[in-house]
Amino acid sequence: MSYFKKHLFLCANQRPTGQPCCNPQGGDALFAFAKKRGKELGLDAANIRVSRAGCLGRCAQGPTLVIYPEGVWYTFIDQEDIEEILQRCLLRGERVERLLA
């Protein structure tokens, strides 16, 4: 049994070597947006967690996030994408097909 009902991990990893990574593509900024919107949407009360992650191992498809317990992967570009993932995936249990990674 999972501790949280759902747990979203968003990669904001920064590599010093110039290799592909998620942070230059918006990782930190979009994580901050996801946390802010998560609070506004009452995710804590719903036992849903949003966490910043280090490298998730899918750097070339970044920025990436994964939602457990389903283990569904997404990529995203902007705040609208994050908003859709929060609303549809975390709150309604749907998938956003256009953003699947």
Which residues of the shown chain bind ligand FES in the complex (CB under 6 A)?
11, 13, 21-22, 55-59, 62, 64
The secondary structure element, H or E, covering residue 30 is helix 27-41
Can you tell me which residue has the tokens 């705040």?
Answer: 79
In the complex, minimum distance from the CB of residue 54 to ligand FES, in angstroms, rounded to a whole number: 8
User: Which lies closer to ligand FES via its Cβ, residue 3 or residue 19?
Assistant: 19
| Tokens found for residue 38 | 């998560």
Query: Which of the 8 DSSP states describes residue 74?
Result: E
In the complex, minimum distance from the CB of residue 40 to ligand FES, in angstroms, rounded to a whole number: 25
In the complex, minimum distance from the CB of residue 60 to ligand FES, in angstroms, rounded to a whole number: 8
Can you tell me which residue has the tokens 């979203």?
Answer: 8
Query: What number of other Cβ atoms are within 10 A of residue 82's Cβ?
Result: 26
User: Which lies closer to ligand FES via its Cβ, residue 14 or residue 47?
Assistant: 14
| Tokens found for residue 72 | 């569904």
User: Which lies closer to ligand FES via its Cβ, residue 42 or residue 57?
Assistant: 57
